[in-house]
Amino acid sequence: MPGYEALLYEVEDGVLTLTLNRPDKLNAFNQQMAAEMIDAFDRSDADDSIRAVIVTGAGRGFCAGADLSGGASTFNYAASRGLDSPVREDGSIDYANEAVRDNGGRLTLRIYKSLKPVIAAINGPAVGIGATMTLPMDIRLGSTAARLGFVFARRGIVPEAASSYFLPRVVGINTALEWCMTGRIVSAEEAHAGRLLRSLHAPEDLLPAARAIAREIADNAAPVSVALIRQMLWRGLGWDDPMEAHKIDSRGVYARGRGADSAEGVASFLEKRPAAFPQKVSQDMPDFFPWWEERPYS
């Protein structure tokens, strides 16, 4: 197991549970947690034994947001990441400089690219990056003790972690604007009504409910198909015409239909038995994947 400090990495029966592990600080997000989470998703994608990922928090909080113990320099990423300042000699700013990049966005873009399904089990307060890091996750379950807040306007900044892309797509533009412009704390019940949370659970039932969903995926679905479906649906949100979906659907059905997973899926159905899909994400993604060009930070 990796020697993380701000994160627990536990694999059991094909399900990886990532637990944000700074309970004395309500799992406040810092540079170390960002780096460890990105590394954990790299490990997950490379490990064919992992079929689904659950993210939760240690103690009574999910994530209280950015660790503000650094005071006014909290969002000075050049200092926290040991990078050169993006401020030029003439005082202008080089916005393409790596030091300008938001840590939360680096994490959410990595989650967005995940080849494994990601389930958030939000066990308590999730504020700022604690809320926005969950947006590119595929399914969000909440404890009745959960509270969420997009509090950026109340801290004098703006939403981060690419949430201006993700949040309106999850809850709709009007709800996203209300929650971000007021910066107020949203109850678990309001988050559920606003479609941010799939379901609410008593605290002791939250992780079992998340694991049940992870098991349903792990036990029944072909891993390569799940990886493709995840990218098809997320990336399809930006398509400007259904023809773009038809192109990828057609490539996917044709390529997968010629493979061993499809043969096994049909045979197991006809024989009324569980499927044992042989193809692996690490080596059997179809030749048209990826079908997009990665966008550089600029």
The pLDDT tens digits of the residues spanning 144-155 come to: 999 999 999 999
Q: pTM for the complete prediction? A: 0.94
Q: 54 and 108: one domain?
A: yes
What local confidence, expressed as pLDDT, does residue 68 receive? 83
Residue 33: strand, helix, or coil: helix
Q: How far is CA 64 from CA 6, 51, 89, 150, in A?
A: 14, 28, 37, 11
Q: Residue 201 corresponds to which tokens in the numbers above?
A: 């659970």
Both 185 and 274 in one domain: the answer is no
DSSP string, 76-139: -HHHHTT---SB-TTS-B-TTSGGGS-HHHHHHHHHHT-SS-EEEEE-SEEETHHHHTTTTSSE
Query: Is 223:279 a contact under the CB 8 Å cutoff?
Result: yes
Contact between 261 and 280 (Cβ < 8 Å): no
Cβ contact 150:159 at 8 Å: yes
Position 149 in a domain: yes
Residue 1 lies in a domain: no
Whether residues 42 and 77 share a domain: the answer is yes
162 and 282 together in one domain: no
3-state SS class at 26: coil
Same domain, 51 and 167: yes
pLDDT for the residue 78 = 55
Mean pLDDT of the region 214-238: 98
Give the pLDDT mean for 149-164. Answer: 97
Distances (CA, A) of 202 to 62, 207, 218: 15, 10, 24
N-to-C CA span, the chain: 35
pLDDT one-digit tens code per residue, 244-263: 999 999 999 999 999 999 99
Residue 250 is part of which domain span? 222-298
- Poorest-confidence range of 78-87, 171-180, 285-294? 78-87
Residue 189 pLDDT class (50, 70, 90 cuts): very high
Using CA atoms, how far residue 169 sits from 68, 141, 163, 228, 242, in Å, is 29, 17, 9, 20, 17
Asked, for residue 78, whether it belongs to a domain, the answer is yes
Asked if residue 117 lies in contact with residue 52, where contact means CB atoms within 8 angstroms, the answer is: yes
Residues 143 and 269 in one domain: no
pLDDT tier at 113, thresholds 50, 70, 90: very high
pLDDT average, residue stretch 34-51: 98
Q: What is the mean pLDDT of residues 130-157?
A: 97
pLDDT digits (tens, 9 = 90+) for 70-90: 665 555 555 556 678 999 999
What pLDDT, on the 0 to 100 scale, is given for residue 73?
A: 56
**Do both 107 and 235 map to the same domain?**
no
Please identify, among 166, 198, 217, the residue that sits at the C-terminal boundary of a domain. Answer: 217
Q: Residue 55 is inside which H or E element, if any?
A: strand 52-57
Band of the pLDDT at 111, cuts 50, 70, 90? very high
User: Do 162 and 229 lie in a common domain?
Assistant: no
Given a cut of 90, is residue 291 above it in pLDDT?
yes
Mean pLDDT for the stretch of residues 110-132 = 98
Give yes or no: residues 178 and 48 share one domain.
yes
Count: domains in the chain: 2
Asked whether residue 2 is domain-assigned, the answer is no
Share the mean pLDDT of the chain: 95
